[in-house]
Structures are given as structure tokens and as C-alpha cells.
A and B are shown apart, each in its own frame.
Chain A
Amino acid sequence: MAPKKNSVLPGFRLTLGYTLLYLSLIVLIPLAATFVKSSELSWAQFSHTVFSPQALAAYRLSFGASLFAAAVNAVFGFIVAWVLVRYDFFGKRIVDALVDLPFALPTAVAGITLATLYAPNGWIGEWLTPLGIKVSYTRLGIFVALTFIGLPFIVRTVQPVLADLDSEIEEAATSLGANRWQTFWRVIFPMLSPALLTGFALAFARALGEYGSVVFISSNIPMKTQIVPLLIMSELDGFQYARATALAVVMLVISFLLLLAVNLLQWWSNRYNTNNLA
């Protein structure tokens, strides 16, 4: 593989070679091992594992909780991004920096903190318990953990697009007689929706694979509060490598599809980049 144009810059073979070698050693060969290992199973064994009642319950819970968490983040993340870009208020810079906390905070810390806060005697749990709401060790707890870790994705995908929006478009809508709500709903929101969807897909993908924060706040009871990564972990703990691999293959295929969707969304989203409008 040679560069199309003759470049005066050196190092093409060296850097490409190193990139491919390192990528293969750390990522591609180990990932290929998963698919090879799963092919040791017969189709009957494979489908018995990935369609077992326990696995189906885990997919339902993982997908449901991740979708719900990403949806809540889409609403509040959008409001946070809007407020950070458009309004001034006390402590704005601190809030802006803090939005990335779920990304910087190790998931195990997030897990034990949320589990403690929402436990019946915790700071938040003690207010919810009299109302009959149990969070820690229930499905609601899984949702809380997944909302926490997905928070930055929506804010950080919507924020730059919103900041780059040309104010002239809004001015035009207003001078043509649109009220503020119409301007937002018919003009601003459609331009932000690709970024919002990208953030939603990223938060959803992250939530699907999450392990660290959920393991502490969930009671991990099969069929009830066991998400897919926890099911894989319990198969690994029982040295059921073939079963764990079969479940991992299902998750990997879903991850690849989501990555593809995110790339398409991002390409769509870039259409509204001001660089392209100018």
C-alpha cells in the first residue's frame, strides 16, 4: 500500500506499519479470539446460551434501562447544554467543568457512591423510602447509575453545535413573524436534532456496556436485576468461558452496529456545521 501522491514527508511505511502492528496485537487479534472461541460451540449450544430465559431477561433489562437513561439524559442534557451556551448565571464555569465528572470519575467510585446515597439510610434514599420508592438494589438503581454515566454525552455533543448556530437564522425567523416557541421548535431544534441523536446513541452505547457503576447499586439477581455485562461476568466467574463468549459475541455485534449508527449520525450532524454553511 503506497501513498497515492508522492509525499515529501517521511515515515509513511514506519508509522502505518507500527499502527497496524500495535492495533492487531492489542485489539484485533484478541477480539478475533472471541469469535474463534464462540465458533467452538455448535449452533444449538450457541442459541441455547444466547436465547436462554436468563439471557433474554438480561437483554430486556439492559436495553430498557439504557434507553430510559439515555432518554432522560437527552431531555436534561439538552437543557444543561442550552443553559450553558445561552444564559449567564452564577457558577456557570464550574457547572461546565463538572459535566465531565462521570467521565473522569472511576466507575467503581460512582457505583459505591450512588449505592450509598440511594440506600434506605442514605442522603437521598431516606427521603424516598417513606414514599415507598426503593432505588438501591432494584432496577431503578440500575437506571440511576446509567443516567449518571451517560450525562456528559448529550451535553457535549449538543453544546458545540448550539454555540456555532448562526444567530441570523433565528433573527430571520423572528422578523418573519415566528414567536419564540415556533422559532425554537421549527428552526433551532431541527438543526440540533442530529447532534442530540448522536449524543443519545453514544450515551445508550456506553450504558449498554457499563459494568462498574451498576455492579454495586444492583442486587444482580438473575432474571430480575442482572444486566448483560453482569451476566457475562457471572459466567466468567463460573469458568463457563464458552457461554460467556457467546453472550459477548451478541454484545460485540450490537456495539459494532451502534458505532456504525453513530458515524452515520455524525456525518449527518456535520451538515449543519457553520463551516459548511459559510
Chain B
Amino acid sequence: MTDDAKINAPRRISEPPWVRRLLIALALAFITLFLIVPLLSVFTEALRQGFGFYFQTLRDPMTISAIQLTLIAAAISVPLNCLFGVAAAWTIAKFDFPGKNILLTLIDLPFSISPVISGMIYVLIFGAQGWFGPWLIEHNIRIIFAVPGIVLATLFVTFPFVARELIPLMQAQGRTEEEAARVLGASGWQTFWRVTLPNIKWGLLYGVILCNARAMGEFGAVSVVSGHIQGKTNTIPLHVQILYEGNNFTGAFAVASLLTFLALVTLLLKTWVEYKNTALRGTAFTPVPLEKRSI
């Protein structure tokens, strides 16, 4: 059979039509109940008191300050974790050294830790009763219940995103192209910029998209270190909580609709990058596969 014939040939073995229809109906019912209905309700609740109230909530100084802080936290943590991701992927994929699997596991660690604990660890170090607490108070430096704490917590929860996308990608690509470039006289930087980077650009973009979504949406970890000072240490998700707990439900959903819009843009970009590089599909959920040879 030629390749064309294989593609055009219908799958000969399949389930009876009624089984197919039943399974499709079950899948769609589950997706509708758990994904589509919640999605629609965010926007319906947000517009419950009309567009006037909606835009009034979004223009509120407290909302604007929350948006600014979220943008700051993302603008710091995404590039830093990006730089780390590239460095870690380069060292793991291009060189052999013992202890690689331990390193891989440690890089993935922040994913398996509860967000509450992710925030708490910084309180233990920088909080008033923490390791550096007395020293920080003496020098009048605030980390916990201030912006630096929020940035640190965001850095922690988004730590693995870029690295775990780039490591398997660069491992699969091997070293031969870079080695050829070096042998032909390219410098290390030239090799990286002209050979490696074009090869990993989709993986890098994918990691950045996922990292950014989490950085802007993180709630638990940031909640622990924030102190919830309106206009100062409130990110968008924390502002949603404050409005909701203040019984301003429509306002809470109006601000939440911003984050929902961000989530939809993330899904769109994610799907587009997966279409460009199919190897990235599903990698957001599974840990980096360990190497069989090394420990």
C-alpha cells in the first residue's frame, strides 16, 4: 500500500456506530459540563451589571495597580526562567555527566509541590521570624508582604516551565549539528545563535507561553507572601479574591474575565505552536523523561 492509500483508506476496524455515538456524546457531555459551562458563566457573571459597571471595575485604580504588579512579576520571572531553561537544557542535552537524572528530577520538583508550601518556604527565610528576618528588619528591607516576595514566589512556581520543554527537545536533536558548526570554525556564541536557537525556537516559545500563563495566574503561593495590601501587593488573582470576598461578585468576575481572556489566548497560542511543532504536544503535563543510562 502506498502512503497515500494508507491515509485515504478508512480505518477498517472500528466500533459499531452506536458505540461511537455514545462515546462521543459522553465525552462532549463531560467537556460541556466541566469546561464550556464554566467558561460561559465567567463572561455572563462579569456582564451581569452591564458594560458600564464592567469597564468601571477594570478602570478602578485598585484593578490597575493589580494589573501592573502582575505584569511586573511576569516581566521578571519569565525572562529569568527562560535564561535558566536554556542554560539547563544546554548543559543536560549537550554534555554527559553523572547525576543527570537527579538534576532532572530536581528541576521538575516545584511542579509537585503545593502552591501554599511554595509560598511558605520564602516566609520561613525572609519573614519576620525567618532566617534573615531580624537582619532585614534592621536594614528596613521588606521582602515578605511586599513586591520582592511576590516575584520570588512567582519565580518558584514557574521555575520548570521553559527547562522541561527545552531539555527533551534538545536531547532529541542531539549534538551533531552544533559539533559540525564548531568544526567548521563557528565560535560558541555563533553556534548557539545560528544553529541551536533556530532549532529550539518553537520549544522556547511554548515554554514561555506556559510560563507566562502561570506567572500571571498564580494564586496560592502569591497569596501566602502577599499580605493582601490593596493597591500595593495585590496581583490580579488576589484582587479577584478580595472583590469576591467583599461580596462584589460582578466586580470579581469582571476582573476574572481578564484572566479568562488570557487563558484563551494562551490556549490559542499553545495550539498554534503545537501545530508548528507536533513533538511538543502533551509535554506540558508529563515530567521530563529520565535517561536510562545515567543514574
Contact = CB atoms under 8 A, between A and B. Distances in A.
A157 B136 CA distance: 45
Number of chain B interface residues as a range = 35 or more
B68 interface: no
A95 B287 CA distance: 24
B71 to A, nearest CB: 15
Contacts of A152: 285
A256 B38 CA distance: 33
B266 to A, nearest CB: 4
B59 interface: no
A14 B109 CA distance: 23
Contacts of B80: 22
A157 to B, nearest CB: 6
B11 interface: yes
A14 B256 CA distance: 42
Contact of A95 (B28, B238, B240): B28
Interface string A132-145: 00000000000000
Interface string B223-260: 11000000000001110110010000100110010011
Nearest to A216: B244
Interface string B178-191: 11001100001001
Number of chain A interface residues as a range = 35 or more
A241 B127 contact: yes
Contacts, number: 316
Contacts of A105: 217, 259-260, 263
Contact of B34 (A19, A148, A256): A148
B51 interface: no
B225 to A, nearest CB: 10
A3 B96 contact: yes
A209 B262 CA distance: 24
A26 B223 CA distance: 18
A259 B27 contact: no
Overall SS of chain A's interface: helix
Interface string A1-20: 11111011111101110110
B284 interface: yes
A255 to B, nearest CB: 4
Nearest to B39: A101
B96 A80 contact: no
Given A5-B96, A105-B263, A180-B16, A19 B84 contact: yes
Given A11-B188, A101-B267, A156-B284, A18 B45 contact: no
B115 interface: yes
Contacts of A1: 97-99
A113 interface: yes
B148 interface: no
Contact of B267 (A15, A98, A123): A98
B267 A9 contact: no
B121 interface: yes
B270 interface: yes
Given A18-B87, A245-B120, A9 B31 contact: no
B241 to A, nearest CB: 6
Contact of A15 (B15, B87, B114, B129): B87
A51 interface: no
A140 B212 CA distance: 32
Interface stretch (A42-50, A218-226, A229-237): A229-237
A19 B87 CA distance: 6
B102 to A, nearest CB: 11
B75 interface: no
Contacts of A157: 282, 285-286
A263 B99 CA distance: 16
A276 to B, nearest CB: 11
B145 to A, nearest CB: 12
B35 A98 contact: yes
Contact of B282 (A108, A159, A174, A216): A159
A114 interface: yes
B141 interface: no
Given A1-B97, A112-B253, A212-B237, A156 B285 contact: yes
B123 interface: yes
Interface in A26-65: 26-31, 33-34, 37
A79 B29 CA distance: 11
Nearest to A106: B217
18 contacts: A7-B175, A23-B88, A34-B117, A34-B120, A83-B24, A87-B24, A95-B27, A99-B35, A102-B35, A104-B213, A104-B266, A106-B216, A109-B260, A152-B285, A211-B115, A244-B120, A255-B114, A266-B287
Given A23-B103, A259-B287, 13 more contacts: A7-B95, A27-B159, A29-B125, A87-B24, A106-B217, A107-B220, A112-B244, A113-B256, A148-B34, A170-B13, A183-B13, A232-B116, A245-B120
What are the 9 closest A-B residue pairs judged by CB atoms, nearest first?
Answer: A106-B217, A209-B114, A10-B188, A211-B220, A212-B219, A30-B121, A15-B91, A104-B263, A108-B237
